[in-house]
Amino acid sequence: MKLSTHRPARPPQEPPQGHDEKAGHMADLSQAEWRKSTYSANNGCVEVAFVDDNEVAVRDSKDRSGAVLLFRSHEWTAFLRGVRAGEFDSS
């Protein structure tokens, strides 16, 4: 008798807040000190927290319990370099 290895399809799930798929772990954001730019308007912006020596967390200041993006420090540094160089300025 042959057993079927077919499994029913499950809908895709969102990764939990603070999950870093590349590293395969959850960042502990419970003690994160979130900072918002002084250039930010009152209607919202992003907030940044330096989680450890190698990660930077970014979230929407209007939805603080929402999703968090995690970046490696070298990725964040490259992003900031691009911002300062005007790579993201609208034409």
- Extract the tokens encoding 87: 């790579």
How many contiguous H segments (helices) and E segments (strands) does the chain have? 1, 6
Per-domain residue ranges for the chain? 37-84
Give, as one character, the DSSP assignment of residue 9.
-
* pLDDT band (50, 70, 90) for residue 8: very low
Q: What is the mean pLDDT of the chain?
A: 77
* pLDDT band (50, 70, 90) for residue 18: low
Give the model confidence (pLDDT) of 33-62 as tens digits: 999 877 777 767 889 999 887 899 999 988
Q: What is the pLDDT of residue 25?
A: 61
The CA distance from 91 to 89, in Å, is 6
The answer to pTM > 0.75 is no
- For the cut 60, the answer to whether the pLDDT of residue 84 exceeds it is yes
